[in-house]
Amino acid sequence: MMGGEISIHSKLGTGSTFRVSFPLSRKERQIVVTKPTAVNAGIADIDQQEISYDDNMHDVLLVEDDLSNAGVVKYLLQGVCNLDMVTTGEEALDKVTQKQYSVILMDIDLGRGISGIETTKRIRKIIGYKDLPIVAVTALAMQGQKEMFLEGGCSHYISKPYDAKTLLRLIKELLPNGKSNKK
């Protein structure tokens, strides 16, 4: 990110703090600071009846190379499912051979190693994963790209940035019996 840094600090019940820093050129003399907005904006708007609860937590795999993005997803899905996180396609392939997941959230541009699309194609060849929901989670939103991801094996698509409400509703829709599970 242009020589900058991103960090996140989250405390359950208190909120999250995001810090973004990047170097300024000598020509830039003024910085405009705006009041931060809560990551969980919109979570309070979700009707508690929209998410059903039971005692069995479903397993969801997040394949995301950006640790800040992964931290946000982990925070949003706390108590909704058992979330395993990996940063590469190779790690994802290893995980799916060890455990059966209910949903996979797949970043498309994984930075190093095999891409999210190639990982998805390989996962689809594994017994038990042919029809599993695999969500393309990406900032790539140019015309035709969504269709390319769906043709590449992803069953669903969500564009970054997305809000909490959108992610939670999608997870609810994709989990077996249309339920997310929260204790």
The DSSP annotation for 25-94 comes to PTT-----------TTTTTTTS-GGGS---SPPPEEEEE-S-HHHHHHHHHHTTTTSEEEEESSHHHHHH
Give residue 22's pLDDT: 64
Question: pLDDT by residue (tens digit) across 84-114?
Answer: 999 999 999 999 999 999 999 999 889 888 9
User: Is pTM beyond 0.75 here?
Assistant: no
- Model pLDDT for residues 21-57, shown as the tens digit of each residue: 766 554 444 444 444 444 444 444 444 334 444 456 7
pLDDT at 33: 45
pLDDT at position 179 over 70: no
**Domains of the chain, first to last:** 48-178 (3.40.50.2300)
CA 46 from chain center: how many Å?
19
pLDDT digit string (tens) for 115-146? 999 999 999 999 999 999 999 988 766 677 77
